[in-house]
Amino acid sequence: METRTIEQYVRKHRTALVATASGILYGGGWTLGYFTSLNTASAAVLITAAVVGGYDIARAAYYEVKSRTLGIKTLVTLAAVGAIAIGAYWEAAAVVFLFSFGSYLEGRTMRKTRNALQELLELAPDTATVRRDGELVEVPAHEVAVGDVVVVKPGEKIPVDGDVVEGESTVNQAPVTGESAPVRKAPGDELYAGTVNQDGALEVRTTGSGSDTTLQRIIERVEHAQEAQSPTESLIDRFAKYYTPGVIALSIGAYAVTQNAILSLTLLVIGCPGALVIGPPVSIVSAIGNAARSGVLMKGGEHLERAGKIDLVAFDKTGTLTKGEATVADVEGFGTTADDALELAAIAEKKSEHHLADAIVEAARKPTSVASDGGTTTATDGGTTTAREADTAAAGAEQPPVPDPEDFNVVPGKGVVARYDGHELLVGNRALLEERDVDVSQAVADPSAPARTAATLPSTSCVTGLSSA
């Protein structure tokens, strides 16, 4: 059993083991020759390094010749044999080691790229909960038919592409669309397989499943991008196709003219462009795989090379360069101070998983209740300072803890309801407050205060209600 396990390990890591063994022997042989007078031992070790690292290369070269093609492996094999023949053992071991190490790097890069694709595949769940004949049935995700209604609970990944037919929630679409902030979804909105439902149950009518989803099409694009050659790769392939026979012909011609075998074999050794041929495909595939793992889809090596020549990028959409991390831009209290209103909202939101809840709680922990863009002046007891300076000072101050609510419930699509110190706290939209019979006057819904502590444009409003219970 142990022997079989060792064989499997060697087969799986053969390229790495060969490159490592060749490198160690190469280093050992060079060391013997450089620091000692054991030239014979040094030559033997270097030849062994060339044989160990060159066996797989020579076998591949044999099949190249057998198929009537002369590739780079043929040239490397001839160069190594020629170097040994003229006594240049160090050069033979170096050529073979560098090529075998390059092959290892190429294989490792391809494995990392395949792992990146596997990570994309794992974004979509394997099963889906489908409503059929009034019952919920769990089926493989690829067997969900177009038109089936899929039920997605809070915290679950969405298994299919579809449209929301019932329920409201926020969905993290970053794995598919790259949007950094969760997106609110309501009936009629489109959903993608592989995205994550956050805080509310959703019923989704399927428009695509299995291989017919946006996520699968993204994966196919990545695979095609890796297979497509860049202009540099195409040029190198064409170069290698003619270069190898050219070097061999030049070597033969040199021998025919000079009758000098050493000169002929030397031409073979110095004419081996292994790094040049291996470099471009390894770098292209590695870049595409790393980009895919980071959520950036490159359509091919051609576009990757073109991106490397970009000197200026213009963004035409507000928010393109933001992180999608919400911050509290402005706080206004009606019948209470802004700090009190923020503190109550933070208590209610402390146990919430909504991305805006984190911003509210974080703001309540700071001595200043307002974040800004850094360009607005803020009044302080000591005079006037910039909001950026105020935020910097606040960041260094001790953050007071936010108390835990005594009770907490999420109202999907509307907000949260909590209890604290004998009061019921409501944090959410107008629908939540009206549902709880909290009157929202026009002055509160559309305040006309001429000045704000921070000149920003908040993208989301939060209304807090406090009532005795």
Q: If we measure between CA atoms, which residue out of 327, 364, 366, 347 comes closest to residue 416?
A: 347
Match 């793992």 to its residue by tokens.
293
- 316 noted as active-site residue: yes
All residues at 6 or more sequence positions from 411 whose CB lies less than 8 Å from its CB, including other chains: 417, 428, 432, 435
| CB-count burial class (<10 Å; 0-12, 13-18, 19+) for 459 | exposed
**Choosing from 133, 311, 316, 446, which is the catalytic residue?**
316
Contacts of 107 (CB under 8 A, 6+ apart): 15
Structure-derived torsion over alpha carbons of residues 448, 449, 454, 457, reported in degrees to the nearest 10: 0
User: What are the tokens at 92?
Assistant: 């033979």
Q: In what order do the strands lie in the sheet with 127-132?
A: 135-140, 127-132, 149-152, 202-208, 161-166, 190-191
How many other CB atoms sit within 10 Å of the CB of residue 462? 19
**Which residue numbers are catalytic?**
316
